[in-house]
Structure 1
């Protein structure tokens, strides 16, 4: 009878692990990475290891593999959940169950299965590449002056007014005309956007973010909007809808100005951290591209 609670715990652990695999409980890392035995012990030593007291900094032992307090702590932190005794007990059971699964798979030599070998190689490649890039990619520093200059450049592109637009973009002129006809009959713009539009924000009824342009519109100063769209937008009053489709490439656009207001320029202190992150990301991309260029100089690359 005294062994029954252990069996119950193991069954619970297996259930928790299966639930974890289905995404229903906290996901935890495998427990054996740091403490897998380096060689197979003799049967006598195995019995002694399993039945003897747990070593220091151990929370469980599965056959002859120890699960450490450090592993449990790491798994609790990785869960991003409140650290409670109940959570720790649940995660410990998951670690036990996963170690049981690992040992069972190892006994049946799953490590030699092609899909396992391929997954290990992929993980090795990813880790090796990430480590190499950490060592080789050296982005330039982003200074306070860089951040302020970026802020000033953005402010310089803003006009007197800013607009909250919605847009419908379709592939052909006939469909655009159908949309305009429906709008004139009073059909809801958002409904038509969801039905016809292929533009960003179609699922939200065509709604786009606030935008401001310095007028008159100048090439290259349109906040990444196509110039014909920027020119059409600033001519519309609040609530106004394009009287005719605006063609940009192969797409036909219909715009509406949901709101129009005086441009609200954010204070530098409010956005400097976001701007710094943007500049750091640009610097990282630039440094990564340079590493690629350097490697390509001495590489033989064939492509179709």
Structure 2
């Protein structure tokens, strides 16, 4: 009797240890159905990919979210919603979306942006935006006679800023007394730039400057060397931009090779 009892206990203990790995793979058992831990891991990876660190508190929230989804899914299955055409169409779209995202991730892993590419892109940015920056103000009006009258009025002592607020057709700068803030010359249309860079600091154009927008009265308030960010400060943004460019070229290449009828 004792031998049978002992052997029974040993068998139970062995079966118990054999069952542990199976239960350890599950997050929970919902209505008798096992919920695998992989679902929580997938949600965790999605959060991490979006740049959100997963804290221990969030892991608990993820677990509850997975369980809640299982409960709702079981109810939907009871109601036979899996058989609907709408569900099947949405599942196909979801499947495509997941596969496409995995393709993008795979491409990025195999085609990383190099430090040399980042440096080259930064150098292009510096070349295009280096040099001088100009702090200018302007008054924009529709016709030349009005512009000439404003120049004459300012020459006699009228305040540039007051006229800009009242008469300028540029709502952005007009409200600020004509102030355009600091900018590279390339930011403006060619006629504006050409007149602005010829001015001495504190001086105003003596004749109206015509552009596609109307007639400008331009005053140069200050000049400085362009203040550009250092490479280390913008490296992540440059890398992200280059990665997106590579991805776009990859997609365009696939499209070009595809046989579409």
**How high is the TM-score relative to the length of structure 2?**
0.55
Q: 1:164, 1:260 within 8 Å by CA — same for their partners in 2?
A: yes
Q: 1:163, 1:212 within 8 Å by CA — same for their partners in 2?
A: yes
Structure 1: runs of 5 or more not aligned: 1-51, 197-205, 214-221
**1:59 aligns to what?**
27
Q: What are the residue-to-residue correspondences of 1:220-231 with 2, within 5 Å?
A: 222=186, 226-231=189-194
- RMSD of the TM alignment (CA)? 5.2
Select between 99-108 and 280-289 the one with higher mean Cα deviation: 280-289
**1:102 aligns to what?**
73
C-alpha distance 135-269 of structure 1, shift in aligned 2 (>3 A):
closer
**2:165 aligns to what?**
187
Q: CA deviation at 1:253?
A: 9.1
How many Å separate the matches in 1 of 2:108 and 2:60? 42
- The match for 2:93 among 89, 103, 122 is 122
**1:84 aligns to what?**
56
Q: CA deviation at 1:104?
A: 0.8
Q: CA deviation at 1:168?
A: 10
How many Å separate the matches in 2 of 1:166 and 1:113? 64
Task: Tell me how many residue pairs correspond in the alignment.
Answer: 221
Q: CA deviation at 1:106?
A: 1.1
- The match for 1:288 among 237, 251, 259 is 251
**How high is the TM-score relative to the length of structure 1?**
0.49
Q: What are the residue-to-residue correspondences of 1:239-254 with 2, within 5 Å?
A: 247-248=211-212
- CA-to-aligned-CA distance 1:188-236 (integer Å, 9 cap, x gap): 99x942999xxxxxxxxx99895434xxxxxxxx36x643454455457
Name whichever structure is richer in helix by fraction: 2
- CA-to-aligned-CA distance 1:23-49 (integer Å, 9 cap, x gap): xxxxxxxxxxxxxxxxxxxxxxxxxxx
How many Å separate the matches in 1 of 2:134 and 2:226? 8
Q: What are the residue-to-residue correspondences of 1:124-273 with 2, within 5 Å?
A: 124-131=95-102, 144-158=115-129, 160-163=131-134, 173=142, 184-185=162-163, 187=165, 192-193=171-172, 211-213=183-185, 222=186, 226-231=189-194, 234=197, 247-248=211-212, 260-271=223-234
Q: 2:25, 2:37 within 8 Å by CA — same for their partners in 1?
A: yes
3-state SS in 1 of match to 2:23: coil
How many Å separate the matches in 2 of 1:61 and 1:160? 66
- CA-to-aligned-CA distance 1:74-129 (integer Å, 9 cap, x gap): 545638366235x4444433322221111111111122334323321221233344
3-state SS in 2 of match to 1:66: strand
Q: 2:136, 2:179 within 8 Å by CA — same for their partners in 1?
A: yes
Structure 2: runs of 5 or more not aligned: 1-18, 151-159
How many Å separate the matches in 2 of 1:244 and 1:184? 18
**2:39 aligns to what?**
71
C-alpha distance 270-134 of structure 1, shift in aligned 2 (>3 A):
closer
**2:6 aligns to what?**
none
